[in-house]
Amino acid sequence: MTRTRGFWHPGTHHPAVDHGGGLPWPRPVEVERVLGFAARNGCKPFQGGHLRKTLVIHYDEIALKGRNRGAFEDHLVRGVREITRDLGPVSVQKLYGRILVRGKDSELPLPALAARVTLLPGVRYVLEGGETGQDFDAILQAIEDSLPPQEAVGTFGVRAKRGDKSYPLRSGEIERRAGAHVLERRSWDVDLVDPDFWVRIEIVNGRGLVCTERHEGPGGLPTGASGRGIALLSGGIDSPVAAWMMMTRGLRLTGLHFHSAPYTNQRSQEKVRDLARHLARFQPSFELTMIPFAEPIQQAIVTSAPQKYRVILYRRFMMRLAAHAAAAAKAGCIVTGEALGQVASQTVENMATVEAASSLPVLRPLVGMGKAKIIDVARRIGTFDTSIEPHDDCCSYLMPRSPATRSNSDELDEVERVFDVTALVEESWANRQSETLRQESRL
């Protein structure tokens, strides 16, 4: 049985994350108790039997952001509130570098809540557990109540963290005593590197938390901390990966897809919608805008421009429409799934020629990645299977036989003279359709 799992590093344990060194506890150990501590500190003593189920979110780089820390934490708190909104009243509390989440009136099913919260950018890991008072007896009792049967596991480890440094026991001492308590009840071996069963104790602000499940999050920065961006989503493998990568750098994204109906079938739009629904698990909601591209833009290009420039011209028009989408969403950048040299259109020269038509910075998080790495991320974030479903990207009528691999923007400015660029862009923008996708309730 492994009690540490997560989406980013499934089933793996991170010694570097929260585990210091430490020696196994000597046994037998005399179990001293911190009796009277609860009364002195005005905490309610543990009532026994009932623990309040709580998630403890530990965040990633936010902690390093110095004076901006408060703002970064607020972005994450907002994200947690938004993504749990449909689940009923949820209490989200910021405490000592952690965020505590639980049902307000009733208890929510913790694993389902954890599954949702763990995917949020900025979350390093989430612990699932129960809350007691700070009284050490109560903590030991809670640990005892959450132990699996003797035969279920062979090894265990205890980790303690004090958010509240006024607590009379240091973390190492808490670990030793709690470990000794477990050893009195189970004859397991101690393993502090990769045990079958972890007991994690957190002391925060009048609370003791005893957690036995850990889920790994993606880390990075919380949604909105870096502003907003427009993600160009094509329906392939790369663009959802690029979107996810920038989401974990704190961008709140709006998706933009150009479709070539009636030359492509309905399913290709449905596929992009499915991908956007996947991405809606990583930010509280995901807006997707679809723009018909065959008419008038592609038609005009096919009719009036040299064939070899078609793809570059399509991309330049995409940039212009993305700028409209950015203005509407108050976004400051465009995100694409381009990787250098992956296909003929993705040369440095062509990237420059396309970007010259953009008034905003174009972020290409995959630019230096090979296909195998990109596929690896696509599998981890769950978009791969949808991305490889067959779809008509663009029909052969609209594609050139041999696309230009080199170009420059002066050349393209010249080619575009035959078009009324502004009118084409305005007309296409007016034909857009937008929808907001949210994570479906799974509780």
Span near ligand ATP by CB under 6 A; candidates 66-74, 154-162, 234-242, 406-414: 234-242
Tell the smallest beta-carbon distance from residue 232 to ligand ATP (Å): 3
Span near Mg ion by CB under 5 A; candidates 176-184, 236-244, 366-374, 383-391: 236-244
Residue 150 β-bridge partners: none
How far is 258 from 292, CA to CA, in rounded Å? Answer: 6
Using CB under 6 A, which of 239, 264, 269, 298 touches ligand ATP? 239
How far is 374 from 337, CA to CA, in rounded Å? Answer: 10
Interface with Mg ion, residue 234, by CB under 5 A: yes
Environment class of 36 (CB within 10 Å of its CB; exposed 0-12, middle 13-18, buried 19+):
exposed
Using CB under 6 A, which of 237, 319, 329, 415 touches ligand ATP? 237
Question: Which amino acid, one-letter code, is at 389?
Answer: E
Interface with ligand ATP, residue 355, by CB under 6 A: no
Tell the smallest beta-carbon distance from residue 259 to ligand ATP (Å): 7
> Residue holding tokens 């393209």?
412
Interface with Mg ion, residue 236, by CB under 5 A: yes
Q: How far is CA 113 from CA 6, 88, 100, 295, 360, in A?
A: 13, 11, 12, 44, 37
Q: In the complex with Mg ion, which residue's Cβ is closer, 217 or 236?
A: 236
Binds 345: which of Mg ion, ligand ATP, none (CB < 5-8 Å by kind): ligand ATP
Interface with ligand ATP, residue 337, by CB under 6 A: yes
Interface with ligand ATP, residue 294, by CB under 6 A: no
Span near ligand ATP by CB under 6 A; candidates 18-26, 143-151, 207-215, 334-342: 334-342
Are 221 and 246 in contact, with CB atoms under 8 Å apart? Answer: no
Q: In the complex with ligand ATP, which residue's Cβ is closer, 146 or 342?
A: 342
- Compute the CA torsion angle 336, 368, 281, 209 (nearest 10 deg): -150
- On the question of a cis peptide bond just before residue 262, with omega within 30 degrees of 0, the verdict is yes
How far is 59 from 46, CA to CA, in rounded Å? Answer: 28
Are 56 and 97 in contact, with CB atoms under 8 Å apart? Answer: no
Q: Which residue is nearest to Mg ion (CB)?
A: 236
Span near Mg ion by CB under 5 A; candidates 130-138, 140-148, 228-236, 424-432: 228-236
Q: How far is CA 190 from CA 97, 302, 422, in A?
A: 29, 70, 70
Interface with ligand ATP, residue 116, by CB under 6 A: no
Site for ligand ATP, residues 244 to 263, rule: CB under 6 A = 256-258
Which residues form the interface with ligand ATP (CB under 6 A)? Answer: 232-234, 236-239, 256-258, 318, 336-338, 342-343, 345-346
Which residues form the interface with Mg ion (CB under 5 A)? Answer: 234, 236
